[in-house]
Structure 1
């Protein structure tokens, strides 16, 4: 097992309780153990995804730094959000192009973060990156998504980190062009908050504007724990994500 709690170094859970979280916050074994121990009591004992869904694992080169790609808003977080976005889009009966665009949006929504703190404006930076690299994203998806659909996905990326009641007039206008994309991406991002080191930061579904199926939060919790544990045990990020996802998808 990879040692992710060097001697004398506090875990993320302890640092969060002390309001001393560092700029970069890679997962550690003690924090993941604390997360696993605090599994919500009302969650299904055998969580699963009813269908495989699309998941796009972003390249480390898409991030501002190697260090940030392995942090709490790095590759694994973005990949899981891409899966939740695709599953939610299917659940709400969106079209194939919207599903693919949301999968891509989830995979890149935090790729321009400077650190794991609030980092205002990182959504807009990621949207700019996305618009300039649509060919790269289409290649990674393995399909061509229409430019107009990708443009709407970029608008969702740009505001994913902005509370609805803080939207500017311009952001409200953009939201009206594709509310379903914004709502799905915000919900998908919210569902991966189980990776955070204090329960008060975990998902609050009342803040969302779309319905989330009952099976998704327990499965999202399990995917965080299983994929992060596999990575701590030494698996590469793509292998950690794939193994965790298979374990939660019947028939895979």
Structure 2
């Protein structure tokens, strides 16, 4: 394994963000991660015991439209963490087995068609089209086929995950009515992983959501970022870093 140490003298993501100089492709560095680690969210409750082990789907690097995005802040680890957070939220909100799996599949690919780490309008729509063509590769990670209706709802959630509710067009509002639970939960899980971003004003803001994530899940989301990103910086593979992070939910694994 090769350690991903930050280039000596290079500005950190946090410094670049503060100076409004973030590049198109943004990779975590130790200085930025140290700052994130020192900003742990305050929570009032411990995580409960979940009825089912949460599912985490790790996207393949070949799923990414832009290879440089696979290891960036919107890359493999982000998509996998959102998949895990989606699985937890799906249980919290009582989704059935098929829709839990569909939500995790949507989360695993929601950013895979990004061209860069900026706003990149339309990347949700592109990822939904990719998922519709390649859903078999994604659901193979689940270990079973999913009903067509669940696949369509997953694609709809992907297509709208990057569009704020207040900017929905009439057509997008119609699409929302077909998959409100998956869309709401994917947006919430994606929001919870914003602890990876280099400015606190970009961190999770539940006022932009239509469901309220449980308080304890903020600490979990923060810890997942710290553990997975630190392991990757220390030289772990993406899979190894994510498995290491997932252990906070089941230390016996």
TM-score, normalised relative to structure 2: 0.95
Distance across 2 between alignment mates of 1:214 and 1:166: 27
Aligned residues: 250
Shift of 1:250: 4.5
Distance across 1 between alignment mates of 2:225 and 2:65: 23
Distance across 1 between alignment mates of 2:201 and 2:111: 21
Deviations 1:36-70, CA, capped at 9 Å, x for gaps: 11223x236x9657343010000000001321100
Q: What secondary structure does 2:113 align onto?
A: coil
Q: Which residue of structure 2 aligns with residue 117 of structure 1?
A: 118
Distance across 2 between alignment mates of 1:210 and 1:81: 16
Unmatched segments (≥5 aa) in structure 1:
none
Q: Which residue of structure 2 aligns with residue 237 of structure 1?
A: 238
Q: Which residue of structure 2 aligns with residue 32 of structure 1?
A: 33
Conserved? CA contact 1:49–1:219, under 8 Å: no
Distance across 1 between alignment mates of 2:49 and 2:247: 11
Deviations 1:101-120, CA, capped at 9 Å, x for gaps: 00000000000000000000
Q: Which residue of structure 2 aligns with residue 43 of structure 1?
A: 43
Conserved? CA contact 1:47–1:219, under 8 Å: no
Distance across 2 between alignment mates of 1:237 and 1:108: 15
Q: Which residue of structure 2 aligns with residue 75 of structure 1?
A: 76
Distance across 2 between alignment mates of 1:156 and 1:91: 18
Deviations 1:13-35, CA, capped at 9 Å, x for gaps: 00000000000001001100011
Q: Which residue of structure 2 aligns with residue 226 of structure 1?
A: 227
Distance across 1 between alignment mates of 2:119 and 2:66: 17
RMSD: 1.5
Deviations 1:203-222, CA, capped at 9 Å, x for gaps: 00122111312221100000
Distance across 2 between alignment mates of 1:75 and 1:177: 28
Unmatched segments (≥5 aa) in structure 2:
none
Conserved? CA contact 2:110–2:158, under 8 Å: yes
- 1:209-220 correspondence to structure 2 within 5 Å: 209-220=210-221
Q: Which residue of structure 1 aligns with residue 55 of structure 2?
A: 54
Q: What secondary structure does 1:140 align onto?
A: coil
Q: Which residue of structure 2 aligns with residue 6 of structure 1?
A: 7
Q: What secondary structure does 1:247 align onto?
A: coil
Deviations 1:210-244, CA, capped at 9 Å, x for gaps: 13122211000001000100000001110110111
Deviations 1:158-190, CA, capped at 9 Å, x for gaps: 010000010011110000111111000000000
Conserved? CA contact 1:49–1:248, under 8 Å: no
Shift of 1:3: 4.5
Conserved? CA contact 1:110–1:123, under 8 Å: yes
